[in-house]
Structure 1
Amino acid sequence: MSDQTPRPEASAELDPQDRHVPEGRNPDGESHAGRAAGGNAAPQQGAAQDIYTRYPQLSGHDYAAGPPQPMGLAIAALVIGIVSFMEAAVPIVGVASFLIGPLAIVFGIIALRKKQKKPMAITGIVLGAAGMIIAAIVSVMVVYFANQIIGAHTVRYVVTSDGPATVAYFNGSETVREQISGNWEKDISYTGLPYASVSVDSPGTAAVGCHIQMDGSSATTNSGTGQVDCVSGNMQFWRR
């Protein structure tokens, strides 16, 4: 009579009482493929790390640090500030600094609030403000000198002559000629540049002379025979 008692199926795992090693496994129960993979992982990682150490440009972007920090407003503030500062000292052109200077300041403040490049933003703010200040100083100086130079002027021409002569003088807009028989004076007033001129032309060898007073001050004097010229600007203004 045969034994019908069921027998347990043979296990593929290693029997601690049986030192027989199943095919494809080592005595510790680890497959050969797993050991091979584990054994090669460390050398491969070491090789990759060595390559990145020698050639850091191959490592790519550090994604752990997040996306690059934006700095468009900071750059705009810096560029506009530089332009405002450089053109501020140029007469007339520097007036544009009153327009672009505030833009540099506004962009710089917004960039600081958005935590963009702080050095760029601050430099743009400083240059924009400095450009506005310099432009204001230059504009005041230009207006002052313009009022001093291009304004109302009074001129007195004095001519001396021993005989008949021809006088040519500038009346503020054109040259006027007059015939004189002896000494001659002329007062004129005009608005424009401080320029005055008079010439005396006498036939023969007569003694002649000329004198110009500009805005109440003696400007120039000349004398001679036959022909003399006197030309002057506002000498009183240039002596200030």
Structure 2
Amino acid sequence: MSDQSSRPETPAATDPHDRPVPESQGAVQDLQARHPGLTGHDHAAGAPPPMGLAIAALVIGAISFLEASVPVIGVLSFLAGPLAIVFGVIALRKRQKKALAIAGIVLGAAGMLIAGIVTIMVAYFANQIIGTHTVRYVVTSDRPGTVAYFNGTETVTEEINGDWQRDVSFTGLPYASLSVDSEGTATLGCQVSMDGSSATTNTGTGEVSCVTGNMQFWHQLPGQ
């Protein structure tokens, strides 16, 4: 006789209700019975892979990119950017949604780059504006009067008998103000020079004033 007649038949797989299980499903159950570790994987049952880390990388990367160009607030991109990159790399290693993970990495890196450029530009312009400045105040008057000028911290008042001049140095914003008044119809003039450049002048009778910090002064800065 053939060996097949003496080979015992494998009983068909059944479910808990003693109903026959399809052959393909029975094979899966048999494989899971032989390898219990497979029962904890959703992929074995055909479930879609998780995307939590990939989505987190995309969202954090987008935040890093959007806030990067905002001065001061943009420094937060130096925190959000690396987080997006780390989450994106971990998501790729865990075989999560590749497109989302890569997009998060790219946005996080771009956010850090833009934030770095903006920070350098802000620091440069702040250094150009806030620094040590030398101001020269000049008053022309044919009669006694009173002058008031800003010395970098406060307004100082002095009595004058005619022409007057004062040099002041201070650290801070390039702001200066000078005013002079005299009784009667005295002919008055004022001039303010900032860091060697004439900032503003004015003439009149009775009272005149000169104030810097306006657009006229900025256009006279080197390179403007």
Do both proteins adopt the same fold according to a TM-score greater than 0.5, normalized to the shorter chain?
yes
1:154-193 paired onto structure 2 within 5 Å: 154-193=134-173
Q: 1:237 — aligned with what?
A: 221
CA drift of 1:138 comes to: 0.5
Q: CA deviation at 1:231?
A: 0.4
3-state DSSP of counterpart to 1:166 = strand
Per-residue deviation at 1:67?
1.6
- Opposite residue 180 of structure 1, the aligned amino acid is I
Task: Show the 5 A alignment for 1:1-240.
Answer: 66-233=46-213, 234-235=217-218, 236-237=220-221, 240=224
**Contact preservation (8 Å) 1:220, 1:230:** yes
User: In structure 2, the residue corresponding to 1:68 is in which secondary structure?
Assistant: coil
Distance 2:130 2:190 in 1: 25
Deviations 1:94-123 (A, max 9, x none): 111111101101111111111111111111
Q: 1:73-106 deviations in whole A, cap 9, x for unaligned?
A: 1001001001101111111111111111011011
Q: Give the Cα separation in 2 of the matches to 1:140 and 1:154.
A: 26
Write the deviation string for residues 57-77 of structure 1: whole angstroms up to 9, x where unpaired. Answer: xxxxxx986122111110010
Closer, same or farther: CA 198–239 of 1 in aligned 2, 3 Å: farther
- Give the number of equivalent residue pairs: 178
Distance 1:238 1:196, change over 3 A: farther
Q: Deviations over 1:22-71 (max 9, x none)?
A: xxxxxxxxxxxxxxxxxxxxxxxxxxxxxxxxxxxxxxxxx986122111
C-alpha contact 1:208 1:228 (8 A) present in aligned 2: yes
**d(CA) in 2 for partners of 1:101 and 1:137?**
14
- The Cα of 1:237 is off from its aligned counterpart by 3.0
Q: Specify every segment of 5 or more residues in structure 1 that has no aligned partner in the other structure, as ranges.
A: 1-62
Cα deviation digits, residues 137-194 of structure 1 (max 9, x gap):
0100110111111111000000000000100000001110000000000000000110
Contact 1:158 1:211 in 2 (8 A): yes
Give me the TM-score of the superposition, normalised by structure 1: 0.72
Contact 1:148 1:237 in 2 (8 A): no
DSSP 3-state at the match of 2:221? helix
